[in-house]
């Protein structure tokens, strides 16, 4: 868990026209809400926040939003990001207030360890990461950076289920089914074209025999 800082200013104007003006000025609008306190409309530097959005921890860590001119500490989680469907750029951020002891649920990325030492991979198998993230419930002050899956001893055909994983202390993954997180898939024996060619050859032999 890492505390990252977001620099912001109060946003006086709201609405589509005001939002467009902000974006043209290199600003990104956002809002802080929750925690039994009034909502705060804010603006942030577009290029700074865009870089932060590229950091995986920005999405799974407690953040501190420092609003210029305010002494209030805003401890938050990034709750949602709105994106431009054409430009694929962030257009608005929603931050939700939390305290350190709040119980929260969020997606945590899965990290694969020792793939280079995996016996199954050495024999041509492939690491098939079925779940790239897990929905983890924990307290806000104990958010894991990632969930580790060690495949250093796995052979072709071996599978890791959720109940095989040792989660960080205080973390839980609610599940009704012991679902698959990762497996070592068998190596491919040939391309689809090779298989089709083999089928065609068999058909020709059958016709000749008739």
- Express each pLDDT in 6-63 by its tens digit: 999 998 777 677 777 888 888 999 999 998 999 999 999 999 999 999 998 899 889 9
Instruction: Tell me what percent of the residues of the chain surpass a pLDDT of 90.
Output: 67
Q: Is the pLDDT of residue 200 over 70?
A: no
Phi, psi torsion values for 208, nearest 5 degrees: -65, -40
pLDDT tens digit sequence for 152-196: 999 999 999 999 999 999 999 999 999 999 999 998 776 554 555
Q: In angstroms, what CA-CA distances link 183 with 66, 161, 186?
A: 43, 9, 9
User: Which pLDDT score, from 0 to 100, does residue 39 have?
Assistant: 93
Tokens of 20: 């467009």
* Size of the chain, expressed as the number of residues it contains: 210
Stated pTM of the model = 0.76
Q: DSSP assignment, residue 145? A: S
Domain 4-98 has CATH 2.40.240.10: yes
Whole-angstrom Cα distance, residue 28 to residue 44? 5
Q: Structural domain boundaries of the chain?
A: 4-98, 104-185
Instruction: Tell me what percent of the residues of the chain surpass a pLDDT of 70.
Output: 88
Tokens of 114: 């020792």
- At a CB cut-off of 8 Å and minimum separation 6, what does 177 contact? none
User: CATH code for 104-185?
Assistant: 2.170.120.20
- Burial class (CB within 10 angstroms; exposed 0-12, middle 13-18, buried 19+) of 86: exposed
């Amino acid at each position: 868990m890492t505390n990252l800082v977001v620099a912001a200013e109060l946003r006086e104007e709201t609405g589509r026209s005001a939002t467009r003006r902000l974006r043209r000025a290199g600003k990104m609008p956002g809002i802080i809400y929750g925690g039994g306190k009034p909502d705060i409309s804010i603006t942030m530097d577009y290029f700074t926040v865009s870089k932060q959005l590229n950091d995986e921890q920005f999405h799974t860590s407690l953040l501190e939003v420092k609003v210029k001119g305010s002494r209030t500490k805003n401890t938050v989680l990034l709750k949602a990001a709105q994106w431009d469907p054409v430009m694929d750029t962030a257009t608005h951020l929603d931050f939700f207030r939390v305290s350190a002891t709040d119980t929260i649920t969020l997606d945590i990325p899965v990290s694969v360890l020792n793939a280079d030492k995996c016996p199954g991979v050495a024999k041509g198998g492939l690491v098939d990461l079925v779940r790239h993230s897990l929905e983890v419930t924990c307290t806000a002050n104990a958010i894991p950076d990632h969930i580790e899956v060690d495949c250093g001893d796995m052979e072709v055909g071996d599978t890791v289920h959720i109940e095989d994983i040792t989660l960080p202390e205080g973390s839980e993954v609610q599940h009704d089914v012991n679902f698959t997180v990762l497996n070592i898939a068998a190596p491919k024996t040939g391309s689809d074209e090779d298989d089709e060619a083999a089928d065609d050859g068999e058909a020709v032999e059958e016709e000749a025999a008739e």
